[in-house]
Amino acid sequence: MKTAPLLIYTSQYAQFDYGRDHPLRLYRLGLAYELMEELGLLSPPVEVEEPYEASEEILLTFHEPTYVRILERADREGLAYPEYGLGTQDNPVFPGMFRFSRLVVGGTWEGIHRALEGRRVFHMGGGMHHARPERAEGFCYLNDIAIALRELERRGLKTLYFDLDAHHCDAVQDAFYISSRVLVVSFHQYGEGTYPGTGALQETGEADGEGYNLNLPLDRYTEDEALWWAYQELIPPLLEAFEPDILFTQWGVDGHKDDPLTALFLSTGIYERIARDLASRWHGPWMAVGGGGYDLVNVARIWGLMWSAMIGREVPEELPERFLRIAIMEGYDGPLIRDLPEWTGTPGHVPPEVKQRVEFLLRACPILC
């Protein structure tokens, strides 16, 4: 079995553009890749592979045939189909969007198969957890995560899916709400006006999946200290009790305190700490995908830190000179890869509502009772 870490990435992602005023700028993928390269995080034994375009057969394991045809037609004709979520402010029609989305799915599909060889795999372009079987939603056209998780489930494997994105993984939750083979855990901002409005504490699954869907809703301005406590209380016990065949993490980093679309108050410190803790605990197949994150420099910095944690390498405190020049042009005013201070929250202080919610989840999950 191969154990060399694998990064899945292609410069082709730079050919696609959601539009000048859209929050999701695909340039962030190339920026993160360049930073990893300059930090020496892609040198052997790390391997890099390009994603391929997923076949229609793969897409149809989750998406409805009519929607797949409409998505291809909208791209080819440049027309909006708002009833399918296409041509909206969140999901514009842009040249090559069907090919882009197939590359996203292909990268994650290939990634799970590489992970099952015993690897740690990171596909930055993946993480589209809002796309529905019948429509586009929340910047997502095809749901690479649900497609990959369904394939793992079909193989009879157990997956612990841990989603750190500030936005709830609504479509992934719905896809596996009655399954006990996919344990879905989501930490996300929740409350009035927060997209997508799902992910309440009480949404714990149904039928065979009762207790296998765990949502930790977070209040605005939640800090590192609270999130770290919740992580320690939930994720290590779940890994031990569930004994998954593969760990699947969604590394959305839009919970960072400077992200323009959300209101959590997390630093680079919590993301790196969680990734390093998981790397020390979990030694089986591990698939990670990207996700949200709308400050370009912060996305690159945090994904660089998380990838370094996954592969067990250290990084220098200061950003490489070439990357720093680009970062300054993008509005970043510091030379450091980590935030300073690199941790938010009062040591030892966890809001009582966070403790109550975690205690509820510990009681709700049958494997922890």
Percent of the chain with pLDDT over 90: 98
Q: What's the helix, strand, coil split of the chain in %, to 5? A: 40, 15, 45
Task: Tell me the DSSP string of 239-275.
Answer: HHHH--SEEEEE---TTBTT-TT---BB-HHHHHHHH
How confident is the model over 8-30, as a mean pLDDT?
A: 97
Contact criterion met (CB below 8 Å) for 177 and 206? yes
Q: Give the tokens for residue 102.
A: 């197939």
Per-residue pLDDT band at 369 (split at 50, 70, 90): confident
Per-residue pLDDT band at 2 (split at 50, 70, 90): confident
Tokens 């910047």 correspond to: 139
How confident is the model over 93-112, as a mean pLDDT?
A: 98
Give the model's pLDDT for residue 4.
96
- Please state, rounded to an integer, the average pLDDT across all residues of the chain: 97
How confident is the model over 133-142, as a mean pLDDT?
A: 98
292: nearest Cα among 25, 70, 15 = 25
pLDDT digits (tens, 9 = 90+) for 306-345: 999 999 999 999 999 999 999 999 999 889 999 999 999 9
Contact criterion met (CB below 8 Å) for 130 and 101? no
Give the model's pLDDT for residue 328.
95
Give the model's pLDDT for residue 1.
63
pLDDT digits (tens, 9 = 90+) for 50-73: 999 999 999 999 999 999 999 999
Contact criterion met (CB below 8 Å) for 69 and 98? no
Q: Compute the radius of gyration of the chain from its Cα atoms.
A: 19
Q: Would you tell me the crossing angle of helices 296-311 and 321-329 to the nearest 10 degrees? A: 150
Q: Give the DSSP letter of residue 362.
A: H
Give the model's pLDDT for residue 333.
87
Contact criterion met (CB below 8 Å) for 66 and 85? no
Q: Is the pLDDT of residue 368 over 70?
A: yes
Contact criterion met (CB below 8 Å) for 19 and 93? no
Secondary structure (3-state) at 217: strand
351: preceding bond cis by omega (within 30 degrees): no
292: nearest Cα among 334, 264, 272 = 264
Per-residue pLDDT band at 347 (split at 50, 70, 90): very high
Complete domains list, the chain, with CATH? 6-364 (3.40.800.20)
Q: Residues of 266-275 as b/e, b for ≥16 C-beta within 10 angstroms? A: bbbbbbbbbb
182-189 and 120-123 as β-strands: parallel, antiparallel, unpaired?
A: unpaired
Q: Give the DSSP letter of residue 336.
A: B
How confident is the model over 341-355, as a mean pLDDT?
A: 95
pLDDT digits (tens, 9 = 90+) for 218-274: 999 999 999 999 999 999 999 999 999 999 999 999 999 999 999 999 999 999 999
